[in-house]
Chains A and B, each alone.
Chain A
Amino acid sequence: MGRPKAALEWHGSSLLYRATAVLARTVDGPVVVVAAPGQELPELPAGVAVVQDPVEGRGPMQGLAVGLTAVADRARGAFVCSTDLPFLHPAFVRRVLRELTDGVDVVLPVARGFRQPLAAAYRTSLAGLVARLLAEGDLRPGMIFQHCAVTRLEDEDLLADGAVARLDPALDSVLNVNTPDDYAAARERELPEVTVECFGALARGGGHRPRGVRAATIGAAAHAVGLTLDRHIVAAVNGDQVTRDDRLPLVAGDSVAFLSADAGG
């Protein structure tokens, strides 16, 4: 690529910003980025933590060990992904995490013809196993699966979930960006279709009624309905966090509410 993937521009922020923000709006627990030694990271959404990988050059297994260890005291399971999944959808993440039931150590999607260890769910208690495999010189993620209980999710398993079938029917969640052409093609894709509603004083002339727009971020959705997020106007996606972050990524099927910051009273 010629540049670190994490910092690749993505609709006003970066691929890393998008990936972490999508996870933050999807899971109830912490979101952690594992940074390689000396790696400079682009700006991250509020609340996303960074842990430093002390060892260089040991690939994703090392990152997995560091990341699982970092959240083990706060979560029993974690969704683990690489930074270069520009179409990762919350419905996909939820589908995978839902399968991480008692007795299951790893939920491994086998989507679009490939195993997806970097779009998978892991028990955080696997941190020790991963560290041991690394110490034994095993740097391949696939080795983990020989030592623990793995549930595989084929395309049909993933698409059996109504939300995934509706919102990510081609399983683009696992589509990664490995070449400049991949990146260019990803940027050329049609923007996700979302529903926008405006409330209170922002709803003049029937503006509170749902409208469909195409937008990759909250800022773009605001622009589409003639608004700008500022100290007077905030937004919420799917009834979740209230935010003024106009870079917050949107995905297909999102519902965005714009309201006056003085709501209440």
Chain B
Amino acid sequence: MAPGGFFGRALVVDVRGTRATGTPLELDDRVLRSYLGGVGLGTWLMHRLAPPRVDPLAPAAPLAFVFSALVGTPLTTSAKFAVVAKSPLTGLLTDALASSQFAISGKLTGHDAIVVRGRAEELSVLLVDGGEVRLEPAPELAGLPAAEAETAVKERFGRGWRTAAIGPAGERGVRFATISHDGRHAGRGGLGAVLGGKNIKAVLVRAAARVRVADQAGVLAAARDLRERSFGPATAKYRELGTLANLLAFNAVSTLPTRNFTAATFEGAPALAAEELHELRGVARNSCASCSIGCEHIYSRKGGGSQRMEYENVFALGPLCGVSDPDDVFAASARCDELGIDTISAGGTVAWAMECAERGLIDEPWLRFGDGSALLRALDAIGAREPGLGELLAHGSRRAAEAVGQGSIAFAPQVKGLELPGYEPRTLQAMALGLAVNARGADHNRSGAYEADLSGALDRLEGGVAHVAAAVDTEDRAAVMDSMILCKFLRGVFEDPFPEWARLLGLVTGWDLDGGELRVAARRIVRAKRAFNLREGATAADDTLPARMLETPLELGSGRSAALTADRLRSMVAGYYVARGLDEDGRVDPADLADLLLEA
């Protein structure tokens, strides 16, 4: 019998021509306990199902929707799912989380994961109804935004289905296209392009099963307690202002990436600040399913309508592109949602192009920092893969820089091909390490080392041994939260996280586990991601930052400068390898491979 909270099987769906067939893949207790679910289990599935060196956009490349033991329980913030695949942007493993009812219904199809392979003959939707799968042609959905596609399939197939869909950019293979559900996005790494590569516009799931938990009363009591704690000070920021609260604070501490990382403060920040917008234009606050925090803050748009705004989309489409008019940023954010593209990669790639244009490296004289109209025009060109600039930028900043040459790779804001989030590495040097070594590429959700930088506990301007420890620890915590799965906005309510998480997981699964076992699982998951990347050709040379970050110091308001040299970063990376038990080239010790349970 499967442990509580699990079904003990994945559904592997093979799409070919006009048909889809589903095959169960048994997931034994050892695999589930070793990888926990979510991102961890998805990583294991990629090892098992992705052919080595497969083209991420090829039919053979698998895409996994992965659930977890906690999904469907009353534990707050647990209605989340992971989407895992080989990224068309990085060529390495990518995983993204999204929230809401798709997670619950997807799991209650009776599977801990749904893996999709193959390619449909024409644009189609894939329906998973319990153990039954079928493919339905849907050419009428071509070109629709994901939200409109969701509405259309609801009308066509009736109620009871939950839908994850892609926008037009995913259909066209934009390498940073997203998969969306209910206004939430599995955003990073181009998962929408992977689904688009299968000619699948949407995946629909319908619940058909129930799942048992080991200790129903215990889970209910824990859920009540966690819900109560979720109303406390540790989540106040998310409730009161949302993640956009970061913007003005980051500006004040010189870590708001501006104009393609040429500065860390932005004179236009106050106009984009949550503190201002909340007073002037805040209209609503929403929650994901099964969430008691309610972090989504909705703002009114000039001319009507509203838009959900988060720090990352405002940073990327605002300061990073030098744009300070909130209506331009709102419009750009809405355009990204309509096209179905990752706002961070979109903003980063356009910001790089703006700098190229200003330096005369590309012949697009209209593309200038600070021009909101130019930003929108560039986004449209990307979404349509218009010949010229659109086609160039649709591949992300790394590939675009490789095409443009002329030294532009030095300021392409990416690691491993994934564009940097809104955390300036030179003024957050624990985070700099986290960004450099993370398997997904430059990422703030799989490595939260900025917490240490902003805690006041270490010197954020001079990375060293303490920063390595912080990067490892936050990466471990992220690995567990993303696998079991709980929203990271809840992280502050756990005083002693690993033992507390172990208790929650034990109540659901029936496993007798402790915090130590979860720490081991975290390290295993991180190692398994790295092992996958190594298999796909990654090397230690990928664990770095753009040359700009390592060669150009930033001037601070204090008169001091923030410098992160290549030597310092290399030293921290070396320390990270030691802490992770890797060899000096960042490779997994062969003795550890058996622990990863990768043998078929």
Q: Which A positions have Cβ atoms within 8 angstroms of B?
A: 25-28, 46-47, 90, 94, 197, 199-201, 203-204, 206, 208, 232, 234-245, 255, 257, 259-265
Contact = CB atoms under 8 A, between A and B. Distances in A.
B330 interface: no
B241 A238 contact: no
Contacts of B459: 46-47, 241
Interface stretch (B164-172, B320-328, B402-410, B443-451): B443-451
B241 A259 contact: no
Contacts of A257: 249, 252-253
Given A239-B558, A259-B253, A261-B454, 5 more contacts: A90-B559, A200-B240, A200-B241, A200-B245, A262-B492
8 contacts: A200-B249, A208-B273, A236-B252, A240-B461, A240-B556, A257-B252, A260-B249, A263-B246
Given A201-B237, A263-B250, A242 B492 contact: no
A203 B278 CA distance: 11
A242 B279 CA distance: 27
Contacts, number: 130
A262 B489 CA distance: 10
B498 interface: no
B299 to A, nearest CB: 17
B255 to A, nearest CB: 9
A244 B456 contact: yes
Nearest to B491: A265
Q: Closest 3 A-B residue pairs measured CB to CB?
A: A257-B252, A239-B557, A239-B254
Contacts of A259: 249, 252-253, 454
A234 B456 contact: yes
B492 A239 contact: no
A234 B274 CA distance: 19
Contacts of B249: 199-200, 257, 259-260, 263
Of listed B246, B249, B274, residue having the most chain A CB within 10 A: B249
B112 interface: no
A71 to B, nearest CB: 15
Contact of B558 (A25, A199, A232): A25
B395 interface: no
Interface residues of B, number: 46
A27 B561 CA distance: 9
B7 interface: no
Contacts of A234: 454-456
Contact of A264 (B236, B264, B448, B558): B448
A28 to B, nearest CB: 5
A261 B457 CA distance: 10
B560 interface: yes
B454 A264 contact: yes
Interface string B461-490: 100000000000000000000000000110
A29 to B, nearest CB: 10
Nearest to A208: B275
Contacts of A27: 560
A28 B246 CA distance: 27
Contacts of A25: 558, 560
A186 to B, nearest CB: 24
A238 B264 CA distance: 13
Interface string B415-455: 00000000100000000000000000000100010110111
Given A200-B241, A237-B558, A240-B556, A261 B273 contact: no
Nearest to B453: A242
A255 B557 contact: yes
Contact of B556 (A203, A239, A261): A239
A242 B455 CA distance: 7
B489 to A, nearest CB: 7
B489 A265 contact: yes
Contact of B253 (A90, A206, A236): A236
A232 B423 contact: no
B248 interface: yes
B227 interface: no
A232 B556 contact: no
